[in-house]
Structure formats: structure tokens, C-alpha cells
Amino acid sequence: MSSSPVATDDRAAFLARDESRVPGDFEPGDDYFATPREPFGVLCLRLEIGPLCFVLNGLSDDQAAVLAKRFRPFVDTREKEVEEGAPAADLTIRFARAGVDAFLAAPRGEAEFYRMGRRATGSRIAIWSYEFAGTADIAQGHADLALVDADGPLFERGVENFLRVLTALHILKHGGLLVHAAGVVRHGLAHVFFGPSGSGKTTVTHLSPGDTILSDDLTLIVKAEDGYAAAGIPFGMAHHRVPDTNGCFPIAGLHRLVQSPEVRRERIFGAKALAEIACCLPFVMQDEPSAGAALAIATGVVSSVPIDRLLFRRDPSFWDVAQEAAGG
């Protein structure tokens, strides 16, 4: 045996996450989610994100206005009369008042990872953090979101964090993936620059001023008629960009960002490419069913989209080699 059959390439933790508990945490149980809660209002908002359609119900006037502005390119503004012709919603999410001051205890001065609790049973998942608690039945397409605040930063953060997780889980049903990646469209083709925090995703978008930015943090990879396409999502949080378009663009290449003094592209294939992508799939690697589904989809992506490690430095020269993936 020329080489040992031990694991040849072990990866570090794929995503920093903190599920620790501290005194003062309130972890909502099934009884909490089963209790009817007061909606904020009667308005609804319909979001179309790639192939996904989310309907947000129970919003107040102010909330609907704030979210419509925040998620602007993704809001379906069609009149009610044509609603019957619109695609069925993947998920209907009922917004309601939490009725508690907090779920997880807030940090006391010292920095900490954003903590998030999670419990999954079959197709049902419950998620909670400081400012929100939500539950969703992925198979049935129903979700409930309880929010501590009716407006302001904690309201918006709670909404976005919950919807980001639901997006990552639901896109699996459509044969797609939510990837920790910047998406940039040049000459009609999407380049997906992926990697962990600090790898240079935001830098790449800053170095692409004339291009269409899909995201500088989370990019959707969706199944298209002929291969795969990329799209942005509107949940950029306060510090990430909301894309200017909800369009889907054919993918020219997936580039694993590696900061380096030199600029070059190294093709990666097979299981190693699969592992690189698996390390950058947020929210779906916490249990075997969704991790297995994500790996199966990623296998399809690896077999049809060029994937490379893109060594780059902080100037636009990386585009010369990135476009080699598109043959340009």
C-alpha cells in the first residue's frame, strides 16, 4: 500500500457556531411554539428569491413598509388580482409578538459568537436566538416567527436570521445550495467566490465596481435548465449588501478564495472540491439528513461547474484568471 488509507485531508470546523448555554437563557419548547401568539398586524409581503417564494404574514403597516424597502428587489409587487397566477409559496411565515423580553441571554459586555439554538425533529425545526424564536415545518411549508421587538435593529436582525436559515434548508428541496460566497456577475456570467469569513469575499466585490453584485456573503446556487445558476438573497444583515437584482445568472465558475501574494488558479476536482464546498454551506450541516441532501446536490454542482482555488491579492488582477473558468 503506497499510501495509508487514513483520512487524507481533514478540514477544520466548517463554520464557527456557538450552541452553548448560559444562565438566563430561555429555550422555547414545543409548548411555547404551540401557544397562539398575537400577530403584529394583518399585512403580508411576498418574497421571490431564486426559485423560492416566501410569504410573510401578520405584519404591521410599519413592518411591511420597512421590510419592503429592505428586501426591495425581491418583493413581489404584483396586484392582488394576479396573485392567483403567482407561484405557490414554499413557505408561509406567521409573524407574532414573542411575549417575552428575550430568548437567549444577551452578552454581558464581553464579545461572543452570535449564539443560536436549534432542535430538529423530522421535517420540523425550531431555531432561537436572543431576539427571535421560530419553528418551521419544511415539508408542510408553514412557519411561525416570534419576535421580541416590533421594530428596530433587533426586529430586523431576528427576521433576517430566521429567513437565512429557512432559505438554506428550503433551497435543498429545489436542488440548490446556499453558499457562504460572494456572487459577482461579469458579462452575463456569475462567478461565485466562496470561503470562510476573512477569505476575501467582500474584498472581491469592492474590486468589481462595474459588475453586478449578487452578494458579498451568501449566494444561492440553483438548478437551471442547463447546469446551475447563481442568485443573491436579500438577507444581508446590516453589514452586507442587498443585491440590486433578484435575477439568476449562469455560473461561469466557483472560486475558493485564498489570499496570496501571487495570482493564479488551481483547478480542484472530485471529493476535494466537494469538501471545499461542504465547508461553506451554512445552517445545513448540523444534522445528517440535511447534510446528506446538501452533499448530494453539491456532487451535482462539482460534476458540472468548474471549481478552483483562486489565489489572489487585493487588486483586480484576479479577474484575469477567474475568467479563464468561463473561457474568457
Partner 1 sequence: MTLDLVLKRSPDAAYRVYDGQATIVLPSHASVHVLNPIGSFIWERLDGSASLSQILERVLDEYDITREAAEADLRQFVGSLLNQGMVS
Applying CB under 8 A, the residues found at the interface with partner 1 are 1, 3-15, 17, 269-272, 274-275, 278-279, 285-288, 291-292, 294-296, 298-299, 302-303
Minimum Å gap between C-beta 36 and partner 1 is: 33
Minimum Å gap between C-beta 282 and partner 1 is: 11
Minimum Å gap between C-beta 177 and partner 1 is: 13
Residue 214, classed as helix, strand or coil, is strand
Minimum Å gap between C-beta 176 and partner 1 is: 17
Q: What residues contact 108, with CB distance under 8 A and at least 6 apart? A: none
Between 157 and 223, whose beta carbon lies closer to partner 1?
A: 223
Between 43 and 274, whose beta carbon lies closer to partner 1?
A: 274
The DSSP-derived string for 95-163 is EEE-SSS-SSPPP-SS--PPB-EEEEETTEEEEE-SSEEEEEETTTTEEEEEES-SSHHHHHHHHHHHH
Between 15 and 66, whose beta carbon lies closer to partner 1?
A: 15
Between 287 and 315, whose beta carbon lies closer to partner 1?
A: 287
**Rounded to 5 degrees, what angle do the CA atoms 275, 280, 284 make?**
95
Q: Which long-range contacts (CB under 8 A, 24 or more apart) does 110-118 make?
A: 112/18, 113/16, 113/17, 113/18, 114/18, 114/161, 115/18, 115/19, 115/20, 116/17, 116/18, 116/19, 116/161, 117/19, 117/25, 117/27, 118/19, 118/286
Minimum Å gap between C-beta 96 and partner 1 is: 30
Tell how strand 227-232 and strand 249-259 pair up: antiparallel
- Which residues face 177 on adjacent strands? 221
Minimum Å gap between C-beta 285 and partner 1 is: 6
Look-up of cell digits 426586529: 155
Minimum Å gap between C-beta 6 and partner 1 is: 5
Between 105 and 291, whose beta carbon lies closer to partner 1?
A: 291
- Which residues face 195 on adjacent strands? none
Residue 206, classed as helix, strand or coil, is helix
Instruction: Specify whether the CB–CB gap between 74 and 246 falls below 8 A.
Output: yes
Minimum Å gap between C-beta 13 and partner 1 is: 4
Between 4 and 77, whose beta carbon lies closer to partner 1?
A: 4
The DSSP-derived string for 31-83 is HHHHS----S-SEEEEEEETTEEEEEEEE-HHHHHHHHHHTGGGB----GGGG
